[in-house]
Structure formats: C-alpha cells, structure tokens
Structure 1
Amino acid sequence: MLAEYATFGLAPAMRAGGVLASGAYQVHRDFVDFIVNGRPLLFQLADLDAVSPLASDIPPAIFTTHVRRLLLEADPPLLDGRYVIYGCPECEGLDCGAVTAVIERAGDDYVWRDFAWQTSDHADLELNGYRGIGPFRFQGGEYREQLGRLLTGDDPGAVRRRVLLIGARVALLAKLAAALRTIGIGAEIAADAAGVPAEELRTYGAVAFGRAVPERVRGSVHEAFERAGVDVAYVDGLAPIVPLLVAQIEYALDPGPEAQRRLARLAVTDGAVVTEVTSPCRVRLTAYRVGRLRRARVHEVFDEVLEPGEHRVPLPGGAPYVVARTSDAVLVAAAASG
C-alpha cells in the first residue's frame, strides 16, 4: 500500500525540567521536534516523556550523525533498518524504551513506516506497534531542505539556556541558581546589567527579577539588553518559593511555538484550577503558598491523564499559585487575590 503524502517540518521543543513536589529534580532538555501535517509527531503518539535524537546538548559530531541518519546518509543505529524517532530524555539506550520506525527511500521521497515502541534489538510490531500512526511519505525536496538546515547552522532548536537572576535576597537567589543548574539551566546572579559586555548578554535567554527590585534597575536592565540587540524573556518572581520560580523560568525559556504547545491554558479562579490541553497527556497540578515564617507550603492537587479540552479541578485551601506540568511544558498561574 502506497503511503499518503504528509508535510514535514521541524520546530524547537523542550522536555520541561523542574523541582518536583517530592523534592526530586527533572532535567531540562531542548530538542528539535518533527512536525508532521502541521502537528508535533510526539503529540500524535501515546503520552510520552521523550525527546528526539536532535537534542541541543549533545556534541556537534553526534548531532550531525543523527541528522545524516534521518537523511539516509549514514547507517541505521538499529537492526532491520530502524531508526530512533524519540528516546528517553535521561539516556540513549533502549532499556527505557524508544519510539522507532523504518525510514526508506521511495524514488525521490522518504517514507517513515512501522512505528513501534522498542526495548530490545528487535521491534515486535504485533505487540508494540503503533497502529494508526503512519506510514508517512514526505516529498524529498521538503524533507532534505528542512533537515539540511540543521547541517548549515540554521538550527530551529538553537536556544539560549542561561538565566540572569537579579534580586535583593542573595540567599534565595543562590538556592534558585543551584536548582536551575541542577536541571541543566545555567544561572548567574547580579545586582544589575551595568558593565556587562554585549557578547555575554547575548548568551542569556531570560532575566528573572525579584519582587523587591526597583523600577529604575529593571529599566536599566531592559535598556542594556536592547542595546545588545537581544530579545530576552523577562520573569517577575511571584513568590520566594524556589520550585515556583523554576517553573516560571522554564515557561519563559520554552522555545516552542505557542500554537503547538500541549498545555494551552491555566487559570486559578473561584476556588478551582482551569486548564486546557490540546492532546491526551498526563497533567500534574501543584499548588504553592507562603506560610508562617515565610516557609513554602506545597500541595499536590492533581495527577492524571486528561483528554483534549478544558478541565476544572477543585483547589483546596485557596493556594494562590498553581503550576501545571506535562512532560514537555509548564504553565504558572496566580489567583486574582494572590
């Protein structure tokens, strides 16, 4: 059976890192995702915590090898002509499982077929095949153009994964910087941006301000980045709670187009959390508040797989801040009274 033609594209994406309610850390990964017929291919599979082989933090030579494999210019890494499409964000082995597929030429075109979840040398299509996914036939010119951009330095997944932290509470900033570095995001602490060379400013993807930073300092920081020609995201810290601030920064660093994000909306209103998702996925809702003696209070509100659409979840205790998290996205919302 001849595969139907599908459009092929690439877009920046991320595996959301963060400090979880349990105290565990989840590593941040930036990667290039495959856009098939206008939607991320990852969203068309079962809800997975996975990244493509085109991750931004792997050595350039290995990145190039992965691209050339997809172009069929290098041997497949697996038996039976199979290629890794998505793998574990923590390792590169098959022990954790990976989404694989056969990639082959059909004249000038490229075909991806026989998608499967694979945990050993051979894929069992009867047991672990993805029914209803593919085969996809991509026009050769479009396919080679999109992947070829990655070999010429025009990388849609290239991101600036460093954050400048500016605030008055040095101890809190030190804890925040340590948490960010643990999950793979560079962080530096400064009083302002005065005297920082433009070359260094261009390495930052976000600036996070503490609540006590005066307007004149905020203004001078904005001016410094504008002079350097840097389009940077600005984060105003909601509360002195490290996991909450990490989530805000993760959201600011999300490189993916908003129209292609799985988490579409989050709001805290009338004693409930309202969230909207665009494809089936596991959603975790965590509530935060500052208690007595400025101690953070954390409450796991919800952790289930949601179907596409809007969902309303009761919020016990009236916590003013909520973080929604999927494997690939983070959203933060504050109650109106917060």
Structure 2
Amino acid sequence: MSAEYATFGLAPATRAGGLLANGDYQVHRDFVDFVVDGRPLLFRLSDLDAVSPLASDVPPSLFTAQVRGLLLEDEAPLPAGRYIVYGCPECQDLACGAVTAVIEADGEDFVWRDFAWQTDVHADLEFNGYHGIGPFRFRGTEYRAALAALLEGGSPGTRRRVLLIGARVALLARLAAALRTIGIGADIAQSADGVPADELRGYGAVVFGRSVGPGERDAVRRAFADAGVDVPCVDGSAPIVPLLVARTEQALDRSPRAQRRLTGLTADGGGAELEVTSSCRVRLTAYRVDRLSRTHAQDLFDGVLEPGRHRVPLDAKAVRGDAHLVARTAGTVLVTAVERRGTAERPAAPGR
C-alpha cells in the first residue's frame, strides 16, 4: 500500500433534480461530498448518478450514525469492513447499486481502499472493482477534524425553498407542484410586501411570473436586500414548466466553479458549445413553444464527455423559433437561449 498521504476534506454538493423530456423526474438532493486531494471524489466516477450517505434530508440520528461510521466508531454496515461511499439518490437501496470501500485505521491514519460497485452484501473486486481509484491514506487529525465538524454543526443546511411571484397563478401553480415533486419547496405570492425578514432569508431563489413588471421586480429585490440576503432571480417568461424547473435548479446552485462538472453552455442554430471539467454523462434537451403555443421537448444528446470544450450539432427543427437548451449532469444544470445569427445577444439564464 502506498505510504503517500492524500488530503481529505468535505464540501457541499447537489444532485440536481428536474423534469425530463420523457416524463420522468429525478429528485433534488443536497449532500456533503468527499474531497480528496482538492477534488470531489465523485468526479473520479465519470457517469455515476449518486450521493454520499451524508445527505441533508436524512434524519439527524441517521446522519450522525453515518458520520460515526466513517470515523470507525460504529461497526461497518457491510462484510469485510466495507462502507457505502455513494448510493442511489432516489431510494438509497443497495440493490440499485452503490460504491463501497474498505475503511480502516492504520495507526493514527485512516485508509480507504478496494473501491467497488456493489449490488448485494458481498463485493466482487475482480469484476466490479474500481482498480484505478485509491488506496487513499489520510492523516488522522485532518480526517477526524473534517468529520467532527459535521457532528458539531449537524446536517448541512441549504435554502431549498423558492418564492414564486406573480398574479396569474396557473403556470406558477404547475411550477410549484413540479418543484415540490423533485424535493424543492415552493411558495406563491403576489409580492414580498409584509413577508417577515426571517422568512425571506429562508428562500434560495425567486421566480418572477410573466405578469410581473420591472417596478414590482425591483420591489421584491429591495425586500430581500433589506432582509440582508442576496438571492438569484429567475425570469419565468417562458411558459414551459420543465424549463423553469431547470432554471430554478441553476439558480439554486451556489457551488464553486471548481466543484462543477459542467461550467459552460452556449448555443446557436447550428450547435451547442459545452465546457466540461471532468469526464461525465451529459444530457442535452431542447424546449420551444410553436406559433400555436404548443410546447415541444426533444432530447438531442445523451453521452459521456471528456474534460474540455465540445460542440454538439443540433437538429434545426428542434431549435427553430424561440428555443432553449438545458444541459444536465448528475450535479449541474445549465440553461441557455438558442441564439439566432444576426440577432442581439440575449441575457444568460440566472445562476451562479
């Protein structure tokens, strides 16, 4: 086993939820990811859609038990000293598959080794081992300090509620229902007048309906500023619920750029430009409204991209008229309008 040390840390992460073009949906999950040598460990698993056991929506007692397990204060949940490192984001059932590893103490150090994909109680390292990952040796003081901080601060908190502003509530009601379906709380109001500051500070984003004018939007922004909170605002002018869900997910993403796999998206009638920081699966979907106000959605690309910039050709019929693209990885969602040559540049969708 290598005697070289790897650094160990923790960082907030998100498994982005959303409504998919085929009618399925995936749940929004906030969790704490493991950072090894300054890079999220999940990024080493190119096309894996998974979350760590340190999720913000698990009961506090279970969260504490997961942390104590990683500290080797509790017995390993699987034979041979194996612990679940990443599991299914939808049901967390081992039968769906999980990444596991042996976690053991070596003197004052902690060692993670023999990573494997596991679907039952026993791991087959020969056929399902991640032979290019690990072993990792962590200094005990650094390792314990990072995990102990979670116990002191409790489960990681995030602002997973959004405020929907507008007088015409039909579209906003559908959007609120869709957001709640994927695990994001949503409230509808005509304005932010009279909303207590403590309540405003609980929102992670604001979505403006089509009927909300510039003056009303400014008043909402002032209300949040007076409450001491800066929230991204989403323009809800496009009456397409899955697209608005994607824009909301993008607005809620406050992760540093270094912790995102997908960092750039632009598009014109001929193709989409994507920037990827680590190997990952990317799904690209086009949304548009035709002249009869009918909504159209079409998946244009679904595959694994390597780090770098990529241009993906687009089906001209899928992006004609007023069209938007949604690029999605397991942890990142980006939205952009499809630019038309010779037209003025449209503002990028909000988000950080």
TM-score tier (shorter): over 0.9
Aligned to 2:75: 75
Name the % identity. Answer: 68
Q: 1:97-176 alignment to 2 at 5 Å?
A: 97-153=97-153, 157-176=156-175
Contact 1:267 1:273 in 2 (8 A): yes
TM-score normalised by the chain length of structure 2: 0.92
Cα distance, 1:270 vs. partner?
Answer: 4.8
| Counterpart check, 1:311 vs 2:310 | yes
Q: Distance in 2 between matches of 1:213 and 1:277?
A: 35
Cα distance, 1:168 vs. partner?
Answer: 3.6
Cα distance, 1:269 vs. partner?
Answer: 2.5
Q: Distance in 1 between matches of 2:255 and 2:72?
A: 27
Q: Distance in 1 between matches of 2:230 and 2:110?
A: 37
Q: Secondary structure at the match of 1:175?
A: helix
Cα distance, 1:265 vs. partner?
Answer: 0.6
After superposition, the C-alpha distances for 1:246-269 in whole angstroms (9 at most, x for unaligned) are 000011112422221000110012
Q: Distance in 1 between matches of 2:45 and 2:17?
A: 21
Q: Secondary structure at the match of 2:335?
A: strand
Between 1:78-87 and 1:315-324, the stretch displaced more is 315-324
Question: Match for 1:207: what amino acid?
Answer: V
Q: Distance in 2 between matches of 1:308 and 1:302?
A: 17
Contact 1:13 1:255 in 2 (8 A): no
Between 1:299-308 and 1:34-43, the stretch displaced more is 299-308
Q: Distance in 1 between matches of 2:264 and 2:237?
A: 18
After superposition, the C-alpha distances for 1:89-124 in whole angstroms (9 at most, x for unaligned) are 112221011000011112211111110111111111
The alpha-carbon distance between structure 1 residues 258 and 211, as it changes in their structure 2 partners (threshold 3 A), is farther
Cα distance, 1:141 vs. partner?
Answer: 1.3
Contact 1:159 1:255 in 2 (8 A): no
Q: Secondary structure at the match of 1:23?
A: coil
After superposition, the C-alpha distances for 1:180-202 in whole angstroms (9 at most, x for unaligned) are 00111000111110001112112
Contact 1:8 1:143 in 2 (8 A): yes
Cα distance, 1:238 vs. partner?
Answer: 4.9
Q: Secondary structure at the match of 2:203?
A: coil
Q: Distance in 2 between matches of 1:61 and 1:231?
A: 32
After superposition, the C-alpha distances for 1:54-77 in whole angstroms (9 at most, x for unaligned) are 011110110010011111111111
Q: Distance in 1 between matches of 2:220 and 2:212?
A: 11
Aligned to 1:207: 206
Aligned to 2:333: 330
Between 1:177-186 and 1:262-271, the stretch displaced more is 262-271
Cα distance, 1:24 vs. partner?
Answer: 1.3
After superposition, the C-alpha distances for 1:17-59 in whole angstroms (9 at most, x for unaligned) are 1010011111111111111111110111241010000011110
Question: Match for 2:36: what amino acid?
Answer: V
Contact 1:201 1:225 in 2 (8 A): yes
Aligned to 1:254: 253
Q: Secondary structure at the match of 1:5?
A: coil
Aligned to 2:282: 283
Aligned to 2:234: 235
Q: Distance in 1 between matches of 2:251 and 2:157?
A: 15
Q: Secondary structure at the match of 1:177?
A: helix
Q: Distance in 2 between matches of 1:206 and 1:120?
A: 40
Gaps of 5+ in 2: 341-345, 347-352
Q: Distance in 1 between matches of 2:32 and 2:2?
A: 28
Q: Distance in 1 between matches of 2:215 and 2:3?
A: 60
TM-score normalised by the chain length of structure 1: 0.96
Contact 1:4 1:135 in 2 (8 A): no
Contact 2:285 2:325 in 1 (8 A): yes
Q: Secondary structure at the match of 1:152?
A: helix
Aligned to 2:19: 19
Q: 1:28-47 alignment to 2 at 5 Å?
A: 28-47=28-47
Gaps of 5+ in 1: none
Contact 2:46 2:278 in 1 (8 A): no
Cα distance, 1:154 vs. partner?
Answer: 6.5
Between 1:223-232 and 1:11-20, the stretch displaced more is 223-232
Q: Distance in 2 between matches of 1:148 and 1:238?
A: 45
Q: Secondary structure at the match of 1:2?
A: coil
Q: Distance in 2 between matches of 1:299 and 1:175?
A: 20
- C-alpha RMSD over aligned residues: 1.5
Contact 1:30 1:56 in 2 (8 A): yes
Question: Match for 1:252: what amino acid?
Answer: A
Contact 1:287 1:323 in 2 (8 A): yes
